[in-house]
Amino acid sequence: MTTPNPFGALRGQLRDAASAFAGDAGAGAVPGILSGMVDDVDRALREELEIFPVCHHSPASALAMVRRLREKQPKVIYLELCEDLRPLLDELRNCRLPVALQAFATDIDGFPLDWAPLSVVAPITEASAEYQAIAYALDRPDVELVLVDRSTDHVFQWTPRDPAEPGEAKAADGDADEDGARHDEAALHGDAVGIEIGDLRPRFAELEAYLLHHGKVRHWSEWWDQYVEQPLVGADYDTYRQVMVMIGSLFRRLRPDRQAREDRDEDRERYMWTRMREHLAASGAEPERCLYVCGAFHAASRVEQFGLAAEGEPYEITPRTATRWMYGLIPSSHSAIEAQFGLAPGAVSIASATWTKALKRGRVTPFRLAGQQTADQKRAAKRAERERADAVPGSPEGVADRLSGFLATPPVLDDLDEAELLGWCVDIVGLARRNGYLASTADAIAVFETSILLAGMRGRGRPTPYDFEDAAVTCIEKDTVPGRRDVRRLCEILLGGDRIGAVGYDSLPPLARDVLDRLEPLGLNLSARTNQRALLDLAAEPALNPCSDLLWILRRLLGDVARPIMGARRLGERSIQESWDLAIGRNQRSLVELGYEGVTIEQVLEQRLRRDAWAPEATAATALEAVEEAILYLGSRRLADELGARAVELLTAERTVDGAPRVLRQIRRLLAHYRAAEPELPRWCERFVTAGYAHYCTLLPTAFADESTGLRQVAAMLGFLFEMESFALSLGCDHTQLELAVRQSHPEAPDKVALAWAARSRLSLMTSAELRSRCAELLANPLVVPAFPHYMSGFVQALEPVPTLAPFVVEQLSKAFAQLPDSVLLPWLPKLITALRDGARELVPVLVREAGRTFPAALSAVDAWVPPWSARPAASQAETGAAEATPGGAVARLLAAHPATCDAVAETLGYDAGWQDTESALDPQVGVTGRGEVAGLLTRHPRTADAVARLLDLQPVG
């Protein structure tokens, strides 16, 4: 006996209409698409396992789900959701919706390393069919909920390696990118890949543009609300089901051929049907007592594995990779869902408002998990019984055609609800005034009339929230936005707001619960979404020190989640009072994701420090920073020694000196800390200094000559060598190695040339007189004067390795300003300022302090002031006619016998070595002679000299 086809008449009507519309040219394509849509509907509705098509976050789908569950009361619900997320569903009763199920992986295996960390989220709202099915199943012990979609591991297995198509491709609404940036909570999901249940959107750009244009709407969310959502809110189950499958079939057939996403969609459908067959075979459940909840797009599937009676080849499910996945719940929000899934701003909030209104109008009691119910339990139970008794069953025998009537019936235009629209208009004006807009009663009237006008232009008898938003923006928002929120955002707040969910304490990972428990002595509501101010008087309340330690670790790991207002944590420095701004409740997602990495926050920090130090791109500076943080936050000598040994390895393996400035700063601080706090330096510090001394000596000539090596890096190398030289020499290093490295350095750039001169003067390879003469030659050469700022930049950078050079730099700058004419100085001055600002910003204060000590403090003293470098030398003995004192004694005899030492010192200081006639001084009977001031002083007060002589066991001279 042949089963009658209920859609035969509709198929014929659509074929005739297609032929009349397209003519002979389109007689093959358009009728095939339209009749294929009817075939897809017929096929889905005849399936033995009842298919419930849904749309993501659709109030119409949620209402139909509530009614169908009360009527059918299935024993098994198959849900299109990642199968490995099933244990998380039981934790939803401890949360405030919306929240998102999350799978998170940091240690990946089998995926590209640049994808890490991997994150998948599936948001859940109350106004969604999937949540109603979950709540129904979890509160009934005899109902089994089975997730049948691919695992989160397969989500990334099936993701193309092409970076142009990362994760799940998502189309954005017209102005979602522009308006989505306004939402503070739009980043609650981070960079996670979003899993949508029932994604219904045209994947053919021309089709979407056509629908938006002829629907007279701005974006897809508004089109869907007007032409699908509102008509189906009050429809019966059979009509809803057939229309949703038809829409899914239409979008499935009108799309570009063989997209990569199409292959993934079909594999998902094969995966889900395979899992359902396996469960039915294992459990022995009756298909008529089961319900398959999936997206309308997948309900119109044409894969060979579709249906329980399909004869296609079994689909082989590939094994998961070795990636270790962590699972948890994170808070979500309406704006986060909109931003991630490309919905128009406010679309989810409007859907939530529609859901609430439909529940009141239809007197429907939704399913809520026991831990989330807020209404009176008895009243809800009585209403549920009444709804079950009044439920209208679906077609008892076969499938009845409801599509023909739905497609042939013109849309019912709702009457204008003046009270609702007036309330919106008055409330938006009041809200706008509180946010800085100059709105008045006239604006409320204008918004009311404009809303009605826009609805009429768009073929609607009753203005929708989208019409009201456009009218409010037109009438209230002027040239500028006076506050933080624009009018469209105010409309979203008015129509429901950006509802933000929260994960309950019992559903948090152990790390998050441990953090909240340890911060309990602060006495703050850390689950609040507002900033909480914590005041810690550590001197008066030492018991708060553990809280302070924990807050500093949170600051290190989560940034502004814990923001210090007063207090600091540095090596050798601990605050006695601290003030914090805490935003833990608003950043609950970040705290939850920390729980995926360890059991305690100290464990997570230790893992991250090790990961940073052993990363492929790690440097010696990175490892030294990890050592400092291990001391500051963990107080672990073992970990610090381990990271320090790693720093030695990294330093000896480096072939560049890009990190030399950071290395110098870090090792300075660490050595100062250990010398002040420890009885002896760790072994790794000694190894680091000796290795760094040899390493930088080896690379110094190359760094001076290499154009790609910056001046700051070379100065930091010299700073390390000169500052650590005494320590390195005590550990067995050779000073000759440094001297040879400086001698072999032959830079060409002016700034490096000046730095090399400074290094030579520091090693006594160049006298001060020679250095001054070279700078004088530079100023005297007109061809070199334009480059003199670069020389000065090199000298300023040399203040770090050779701090005693500060008076010389001040002297040369003063000479330049004194000698250069204005025609040369004025064009030269901007170059000098730029060079100092870009290359020596932190060293300029050293020059300023030195100049303050050199120049007179009062303006009146400037005229009589003589620069130290311009002072005339002391008059000679021939000019004054006075005889200089000639020293005598053992010291004079020693110096006269070995004059080389004095000659070297005089040459270093820039003086000519001239020896007086010391024959009389060498006679012990003569002693100290001369008519100088020192000789006169000793003659008048001989007791001091006699006492010193007796102390030194010498013979006093009379």
Instruction: Look at residue 65 and tell me whether its pLDDT is greater than 60.
Output: yes
Instruction: Report the pLDDT value the prediction gives residue 796, as an integer from 0 to 100.
Output: 85
Instruction: Look at residue 849 and tell me whether its pLDDT is greater than 90.
Output: no
Task: Name the token pair of 124.
Answer: 């859940």
Instruction: Look at residue 202 and tell me whether its pLDDT is greater than 80.
Output: no
Instruction: Report the pLDDT value the prediction gives residue 554, as an integer from 0 to 100.
Output: 93
Instruction: Report the pLDDT value the prediction gives residue 200, as an integer from 0 to 100.
Output: 62
H helices present in 342-464, as ranges: 347-362, 377-390, 403-408, 418-434, 441-457
Instruction: Report the pLDDT value the prediction gives residue 98, as an integer from 0 to 100.
Output: 87
Mean pLDDT, range 824-829, rounded to an integer: 80
Instruction: Look at residue 183 and tell me whether its pLDDT is greater than 60.
Output: no
Instruction: Look at residue 628 and tell me whether its pLDDT is greater than 90.
Output: yes
Task: Give the C-alpha separation, 499 to 126, whole Å.
Answer: 11
Of 100-114, 425-439, 877-891, the range with the lowest mean pLDDT is 877-891
Q: Contact at 8 Å (CB) between 106 and 594?
A: no
Instruction: Look at residue 920 and tell me whether its pLDDT is greater than 50.
Output: no
Q: At what angle are helices 750-762 and 788-797 packed, to 10 degrees?
A: 40
Task: Name the token pair of 478.
Answer: 């002027």
Q: Contact at 8 Å (CB) between 207 and 254?
A: yes
Instruction: Report the pLDDT value the prediction gives residue 308, as an integer from 0 to 100.
Output: 83
Four-point Cα dihedral 137, 138, 141, 146, nearest 10: 60
Q: How do residues 237-293 score in pLDDT, each as one tens digit?
A: 888 888 888 888 887 777 666 555 567 788 888 889 888 988 999 988 888 899 999
Task: Give the C-alpha separation, 352 to 501, whole Å.
Answer: 14
Q: Tell me which residue of 186, 180, 219, 221 sits closest to 486, measured CA to CA.
A: 180
Task: Name the token pair of 346.
Answer: 């406010």
Instruction: Look at residue 649 and tell me whether its pLDDT is greater than 90.
Output: yes
Task: Give the C-alpha separation, 731 to 199, whole Å.
Answer: 69
Instruction: Look at residue 193 and tell me whether its pLDDT is greater than 60.
Output: yes
Per-residue confidence band for 794, with pLDDT thresholds at 50, 70 and 90:
confident
Instruction: Report the pLDDT value the prediction gives residue 197, as an integer from 0 to 100.
Output: 59
Instruction: Report the pLDDT value the prediction gives residue 377, as an integer from 0 to 100.
Output: 46
Task: Give the C-alpha separation, 203 to 419, whole Å.
Answer: 39
Give residue 915's region: left, alpha or beta (phi > 0; psi -120 to 50). beta
Instruction: Look at residue 406 and tell me whether its pLDDT is greater than 60.
Output: yes
H helices present in 595-744, as ranges: 601-613, 620-629, 637-653, 660-677, 683-705, 711-723, 725-730, 735-743
Instruction: Look at residue 160 and tell me whether its pLDDT is greater than 80.
Output: no
Instruction: Report the pLDDT value the prediction gives residue 29, as an integer from 0 to 100.
Output: 63
Site of tokens 């040239």 = 479
Q: How do residues 459-516 score in pLDDT, each as one tens digit?
A: 777 788 888 888 888 888 877 777 778 888 888 777 766 678 888 888 888 898 999 9
> What is the H or E stretch that residue 793 is in?
helix 788-797
Q: Tell me which residue of 45, 40, 46 sits closest to 11, measured CA to CA.
A: 40
Task: Give the C-alpha separation, 55 to 130, whole Å.
Answer: 10
Q: How do residues 423-452 score in pLDDT, each as one tens digit?
A: 888 888 888 888 888 888 888 899 888 988
Instruction: Report the pLDDT value the prediction gives residue 644, as an integer from 0 to 100.
Output: 93
Instruction: Report the pLDDT value the prediction gives residue 496, as an integer from 0 to 100.
Output: 67
> What is the H or E stretch that residue 343 is in?
none
Provide the percentage of residues in the chain whose pLDDT is more than 70.
81
Q: What are phi and psi of 99, to 5 degrees?
A: -130, 175
Query: What is the C-alpha end-to-end distance of the chain, expressed in Å?
Result: 147
Contacts (Cβ under 8 Å, ≥6 apart) of 513:
505
Q: Nearest-5° angle of CA 418, CA 424, CA 429?
A: 125
Q: Which residues pair with 581 in a beta bridge?
A: 533, 563
The Cβ of residue 194 has, within 10 Å, a number of other Cβ atoms equal to 22
Q: What are phi and psi of 569, to 5 degrees?
A: -130, 100
Provide the percentage of residues in the chain whose pLDDT is more than 90.
17
Instruction: Report the pLDDT value the prediction gives residue 877, as an integer from 0 to 100.
Output: 45
Instruction: Look at residue 218 and tell me whether its pLDDT is greater than 80.
Output: no
Instruction: Report the pLDDT value the prediction gives residue 691, as an integer from 0 to 100.
Output: 93
Task: Name the token pair of 510.
Answer: 């152990």
Task: Name the token pair of 840.
Answer: 């020596």
Of 190-199, 480-489, 628-637, the range with the lowest mean pLDDT is 190-199
Task: Give the C-alpha separation, 105 to 121, whole Å.
Answer: 12
Instruction: Report the pLDDT value the prediction gives residue 144, as an integer from 0 to 100.
Output: 92
CB neighbour burial string for 112-123, b if at least 16 within 10 angstroms, e if fewer: eeeeebbbbbbb
Instruction: Look at residue 879 and tell me whether its pLDDT is greater than 50.
Output: no
Task: Give the C-alpha separation, 367 to 360, whole Å.
Answer: 14
Mean pLDDT, range 745-761, rounded to an integer: 90
**Number of helical H runs and strand E runs in the chain:** 43, 13
Hey, is 598 helix, strand or coil?
A: coil
Residue 316: DSSP 8-state: P
Of the CA atoms within 13 Å of residue 695, those in its CB half-sphere come to 22
Instruction: Report the pLDDT value the prediction gives residue 344, as an integer from 0 to 100.
Output: 77
Instruction: Report the pLDDT value the prediction gives residue 310, as an integer from 0 to 100.
Output: 76
Instruction: Look at residue 895 and tell me whether its pLDDT is greater than 80.
Output: no
The Cβ of residue 224 has, within 10 Å, a number of other Cβ atoms equal to 24
Instruction: Look at residue 925 and tell me whether its pLDDT is greater than 50.
Output: no
Task: Name the token pair of 320.
Answer: 């998961």
Instruction: Look at residue 815 and tell me whether its pLDDT is greater than 90.
Output: no
Instruction: Look at residue 225 and tell me whether its pLDDT is greater than 50.
Output: yes
Q: How do residues 162-176 score in pLDDT, each as one tens digit?
A: 544 444 433 333 333
Count Cβ atoms within 10 A of the Cβ of residue 864 and give its class: 0-12 exposed, 13-18 middle, 19 or more buried.
exposed
Hey, is 525 helix, strand or coil?
A: coil
Contacts (Cβ under 8 Å, ≥6 apart) of 32:
none
Task: Give the C-alpha separation, 383 to 66, whole Å.
Answer: 13
Q: What are phi and psi of 562, to 5 degrees?
A: -125, 110
Q: Tell me which residue of 458, 427, 457, 461 sits closest to 443, measured CA to CA.
A: 427
Q: Which residues pair with 580 in a beta bridge?
A: 534, 564
Instruction: Report the pLDDT value the prediction gives residue 656, as an integer from 0 to 100.
Output: 87
Q: In this structure, which long-range contacts are made by residues 111-118, counting pairs with CB atoms below 8 Å and at least 24 apart in sequence? A: 111/156, 111/321, 111/323, 112/161, 115/156, 118/152, 118/156, 118/193, 118/323
Q: Contact at 8 Å (CB) between 321 and 84?
A: no
Instruction: Look at residue 112 and tell me whether its pLDDT is greater than 90.
Output: no
Of the CA atoms within 13 Å of residue 266, those in its CB half-sphere come to 10
Instruction: Report the pLDDT value the prediction gives residue 663, as an integer from 0 to 100.
Output: 92
Of the CA atoms within 13 Å of residue 440, those in its CB half-sphere come to 2
Q: Tell me which residue of 445, 440, 439, 455 sits closest to 425, measured CA to CA.
A: 445
Instruction: Report the pLDDT value the prediction gives residue 170, as an integer from 0 to 100.
Output: 38
Mean pLDDT, range 388-413, rounded to an integer: 56
Task: Give the C-alpha separation, 526 to 586, whole Å.
Answer: 9
Query: How large is the C-alpha radius of gyration of the chain?
Result: 42
Task: Give the C-alpha separation, 550 to 516, whole Å.
Answer: 10
Q: Is the peptide bond before 411 cis (omega within 30 degrees of 0)?
A: no
Instruction: Look at residue 793 and tell me whether its pLDDT is greater than 60.
Output: yes
Q: What are phi and psi of 328, to 5 degrees?
A: -175, 180
Distances (CA, A) of 913 to 540, 764, 904, 906: 66, 17, 9, 6
| 861/717: higher pLDDT | 717
Mean pLDDT, range 531-557, rounded to an integer: 91
Mean pLDDT, range 384-391, rounded to an integer: 51
Task: Give the C-alpha separation, 591 to 188, whole Å.
Answer: 12
Count Cβ atoms within 10 A of the Cβ of residue 906 and give its class: 0-12 exposed, 13-18 middle, 19 or more buried.
middle
The Cβ of residue 732 has, within 10 Å, a number of other Cβ atoms equal to 9
Q: What is the rounded average pLDDT for all residues in the chain? A: 79
Q: Contact at 8 Å (CB) between 359 and 366?
A: yes
Q: Tell me which residue of 556, 579, 553 sits closest to 566, measured CA to CA.
A: 579
| 317/198: higher pLDDT | 317
Of the CA atoms within 13 Å of residue 167, those in its CB half-sphere come to 19
Of 33-42, 622-631, 866-875, 933-942, the range with the lowest mean pLDDT is 866-875
